[in-house]
Structure 1
């Protein structure tokens, strides 16, 4: 495991296109109210510095190309968090002519955050779950409350 992801993971947020409800919740989750920096979690200045890719929105055919490109530009030992129902399987847009489906149809996903939109606490909990899983610690619930 990369020691940098263990101690100070950098996030990159990518919106594939949807109603922006999940985007607002992701941005709320990284505000001082929830204080993810106490766990070392910060936004990356570039995709080439990112450790964790947070994807929101439904994956369309056009967005799938960009998502693949962004994922390939991240350094190795990269992780993907799919946030919301649209990122899971297409949500209410599932079955549309331009929708590929969920994020997992394009790139591998490590953690899903269900909801439409999910609460900021759940997004932060998913990030901590990912970090704890990488550290090999089983119980994360006592640390997030």
Structure 2
């Protein structure tokens, strides 16, 4: 007991102070993109050709669909003029699918809360059942990190639970493979209402790199209405946390 106490004193406070303090992110972190179409040479398509999932495109200007984006640096590397750049801004979650499309000069719309009644219901105790619908385990791993001492998700009253009967909502990762479709729908049916649906990661939002495959359903909103979209491949734990707090009116 004495050794454990001394070790805790040596380690000091290990839980991040986010969101009370700014996020501490690694140097290579890629967050919200910054676009400058004025720098694009006429007819240049370097960035769109480099993107492996067609997340960046030209349509009345340059646009990036964060729902598809894998946050790889290929478009940024391919652009000869710096028209595409990823910032260190971790705030990415939205309430509407169309708000994940970023265009230069357009108003940025982040996730909004569930409304006064549901915020009152879930604001202090929010339980989620996670379903990995064919994911590679990257989104699942970064989600699990939130329950460790470094982030301590429980201090916000948010917890992942083992049974859908005990949950207030479903947290989905993975592209929804055909093998997981029925399990996903049955889990949703088992959660008592009112309930919330969260799609985390490019796969759960749009199928990710598996988009269009005959065994994949290209995301959970193919079947069910989504309340919160958290983009990334995988989304950083602080991106997930920011989205959850916005959903509960805590940001």
Instruction: Give the alignment's TM-score, normalised by structure 2.
Output: 0.51
When the two chains are superposed, the root-mean-square deviation of aligned CA atoms in Å is 1.4
Q: CA deviation at 1:62?
A: 2.3
Residues 1:101 and 2:218 aligned together = yes
Counterparts of 1:5 and 1:64, CA distance in 2: 27
Residues 1:48 and 2:165 aligned together = yes
Residues 1:128 and 2:223 aligned together = no
Structure 2 gap ranges (5+): 1-116
Q: CA deviation at 1:104?
A: 0.3
Cα deviation digits, residues 101-124 of structure 1 (max 9, x gap): 111002111101111011000111
Q: CA deviation at 1:97?
A: 1.0
Counterparts of 1:82 and 1:96, CA distance in 2: 19
After superposition, residues 50-89 of structure 1 pair within 5 angstroms as 50-89=167-206
Alignment-derived partner of residue 230 in structure 2: 113
Q: CA deviation at 1:69?
A: 0.8
Greater Cα shift, 30-39 or 47-56: 30-39
Q: CA deviation at 1:25?
A: 0.5
Alignment-derived partner of residue 9 in structure 1: 126
Q: CA deviation at 1:4?
A: 4.2
Greater Cα shift, 66-75 or 1-10: 1-10
Instruction: Give the alignment's TM-score, normalised by structure 1.
Output: 0.86
Alignment-derived partner of residue 78 in structure 2: none
**Secondary structure of the residue that 1:128 maps to in structure 2?**
helix
Counterparts of 1:52 and 1:129, CA distance in 2: 15
Q: CA deviation at 1:18?
A: 2.2
Cα deviation digits, residues 24-44 of structure 1 (max 9, x gap): 011012222111111111122
